[in-house]
Structure 1
């Protein structure tokens, strides 16, 4: 007819779509109980009821092919005397085939994607890049980091799945459910722009000398000057520089060589009255976002890291970057790492960098020369056009707004449900629903809060053990056991 009602499984209400011939005339929210419609919608996003759209006829052929490969693999294991592996793969595949036949899917169905796609063994998988037009332009941001990741994906995936195949957990076809190889990735891309302050050899070679430098910033800010100071009393000197920056309301970034050094330095500065913390791979992702926000808001004055204070961090409040033991040549102190870390001070009009080193390594020399070269061009441009460097300043409200997703995720962790789902339309909420009070002490919420308490206690226990405070760790362990035994 001219009207279609759709009730998605992921909402508590339906949609009514009105047609005029072959054109959609309007769509509304629909209350499935009362049949009342809400206000007309400006747009409507519908998701498929199932991700598995292979027809029953095709599925029969696919399942037959899977079973044939299973027979070959079972025979292969038996020839090698691997009876446990042969039994395991037979049980696994037989169960999966029955699940697919009855339900249309099974756990780990992606490992059978080669059959579903009707691909040949070794043929590249389909990916989102196949949806782009033939002449699309790809921009690879921070290419010196991104391209090695693309290269490594195939090898990492294959090494993991080879074990699954060799021990009879998966058919060899699982190896074809994989990322693209770097060669396949290159073949798909018609044209590409690599974007990086420190491009790698591959990007420079591919560019064939055609490189565009973007040195001038709209704010007129300059690359920071770099100063070298001796290692002998680097902590005391750093403390003095931190006090100078604190007096001006500026923030400080410090990089160390190890996580332990970062934690110990953070403890020392905290005891000295500095609002300080550390940031490294041991810190959870959401906690990292919170730490960076607190740094910008002034709740933290000094942030100490190892290898995370680099690309992608835009912190206009940071005026000083201090690199400890800058002369310890290695991947944390090579040209790219030093340049990227020093660049974190380039968002402030008084930005500066201190290298603590007893000798000047080749990487340090290259970084200093490159920064000075850029500064000369930036100063010349600003002088010619009468530009005065100005830092970008944002209010606390703007900073909080930028990281609003953090608050949502933290609330989700506390209440155990997604807060980003589409809310029920207000026009369909009945008066009975509106008048019904919520019960903050409901059993479901109590259980969720109990789980949150357990997570917090375990985190405190692990931290106490790290700090070698075993008495506190033992007390926390006993509290955790008591909560678990009480059913919370």
Structure 2
């Protein structure tokens, strides 16, 4: 609908000159006088009028992002492309990098090459990128169509050439996997992956499937597949690159021969030899783009991907030229150093176009947009068009002023357009204007924008504007509301919940409920009595071995403890495990009893009951500058419900750093303050107190709330004034360290106490907190995530709100895993500092941190560097941290102390030295220190050059490679953090027990204990023992990946009804193709076991030539039913009585499948007869 607003700008007479020039393909024109969203709208109107595709070049990613957001609002996603620049130059030796930006570049290359999308936005650095020629790019793309004749091997070969990575299971873009006649594929630029099923050499079906469940969703007729890498490599290019790189290798060999041993040249030679071998073997690797000019001597630029009638728009050309010059200088400096050291091949220094040359030689017409008129020697303007747009006043909730201005525009004959994000907000603004005598209408269809009208439209722009010449005013929520809601940002990953990480891998430690902790060594298919089954092979202490049939897999759990620590293995047959398990059991029973007693006591206490929300509450919540996540809103609801009850609140708020806990707590504090009470925030460090204080002052601006702070950074007189304000009630909210717990701190009426990270306070402070807590509503926040299983176990015992969804569409953190180099460090730090940001440099050895400070000062003399580590005096450490917070230092060189709770939005680059020595959960938390603002953040995980890594470090680096995605490394990191979070909630003693028996078994024991105390002892129904001689397993020819086999065995073991069996059958068929007989038997055994359990069967076994079914003693009225059955199966069925009812059936001539079919028929018949007779079988 915003296209209609853009069309209104075409009424500007001066634009006729521009369109005449474009009609003649005039080389260069300037349009000045429009800025921000007015300029975006003008660019859109030109595109709509001409119908020609436009390539918009912005100076930097922030400006490009704003234009992109505006264009999305005007045209919609299907018409707008974004081409982000490569943030790191190709020549650094990348092990791994985030794929977000690369995926977006690839998608844009494809869409532009195909002529899709009217508008493309890039940056100066994006424009300067050398690229694969568009013709070769399109030739590397192909289409799959249902019914197409195609060999499955040919498809796989094409995918590998196009840069797709072969995986056992598709989990991310750019991966492909094959199982029998099925190929799973996640094409770049697609939202969902696809499943291609073959019948012989014919594509039988193409289905989209869900990444989490791996189940098919819907069918499509055709699928366009384009390359997964920016440099697709066909045979011709590969052979050319091999020849050229072999020449480079010979050149390096001769240099080494002439110069003697040279470390840099030797390193370059080793790297080139390794990469050359991979190229020979047709293996893609991270950083292959550095050899672009060896594959494609004739490269292209982004304008080459634009169709012939395309137009280039330069947004602020003077700024673009300035940025291009700065980028070029940075590039030359880095290249010169690397070339001088012999660490760069000559063609690797030519991977970027010269901006001036690219612009001056461009054959496409250029239109430049700026606020003021100027001259441009690089591309002299043939025509200059002057326009005028003014910014809209910022009303920010001043409704009288807003109504007055809108009324003034109406009286002048203006068309006033107000853009809102929701229908409800439009209704609110309409009512506000109506109260002031102004009629405004919500336009559902194409709005008729007549003079003197006020129209509300659904949509948003970065900013509003006024164009007096055509009497048009456009307003956005940013100008109207008390504080603007931030709109959708650059598209990143959606918020993802990470589920339980239970995949078993060879070498993992496992816990068997009876036998204790052992090591899983894989699945074994064993033949016992001519019957094939799969068994889990587990090794215990003293080389003891245990083979567990997969149907008993539910008694085995993956051992989850502290990352990097090996648990103790137990010997089979000993009683040590039984003693330890009994001790843990007794402890959790005591804990459950204690928690339930505390909960019951709190239910009877009487405290303050807060009133329902005040009008100010809605205004305060509407002023939050971000969109809330569903979890945040749920937490707010739960807390408000607690506050409105008469019993005191004691709620735990869990969620990762940056997930919005503080905002939730502030809403609780504001609710209390609006009811005449005071609120206090207790934090563990002075730095956090200062941070929170600054945040709170900003957040409560414009609201009747007085904020105070108590910490050692306040002078004596300042503290005295705050204390007096608390006593008298003039200070509504105070934030402080343990200073808040001092005896001289007295409140007039404390209503809510918020405690941040209670586990970080000492014993004495905790005792004081207990005293203050009495009859006060308490909200305790913790930044370590809590496992969902524990949360569920404690439901009804501990009030807990969990925020587990991260904010959606946050800028993704660009993560790089690479060899350490001074050039990289200098470039990364200067890039951040030059954009006004700050950097964390994490070096985790106190002994050598001063040496590194000297090294960094030598490397970066123009940068101010602060040093912080845990062995410094506490006062000195806090001084350094606060100085860094206030911008006194550009770089903070520190140990891992930065992982604990610091939140400095201006720090958007973190460099982690020797990343291979850190645990994954540490890396996860450290990386979370950046990416907290509206800027793209960078995380560099570095390791030493040519370092011979230990096996453990190599595995960790392999996991870190996956860390740039939501792969297994990410899940392990989260799981380790969750266990820490559980320890924080339940205390150090219980954390020790978790480590002893493994987290999952601990949670099961706790769950059982809580349930027993709440519901009383429940008599458990024994599971039937089913031992039938039949091949029932998943053959390796059907599912080759043992990890996926394990997952399916777990699913089959956990079935609770026939629907679950049917779902498992459908999933196997969907993902792996038609079920072979042993897999079909596996599911039928599970079905038999289900029916046997419902009928009260104790065991089902084979003795000689008989199938024997034993019923439990609770089975009654059996005789009539058995009599009916014995008539049907005359001569084959015998009935035994005694302690148990026994059915014995002679099974001559039956194979395994026949036996299962007979049992299913028999049990179904038994169920029917029992139902008929109303017997309780």
Query: TM-score with structure 2 length normalisation?
Result: 0.21
Give the structure with the larger strand fraction.
Answer: 2
Larger radius of gyration: 2
Larger RCO of the pair (alpha carbons < 8 Å, separation 6+) = 1
Give the structure with the larger helix fraction.
Answer: 1
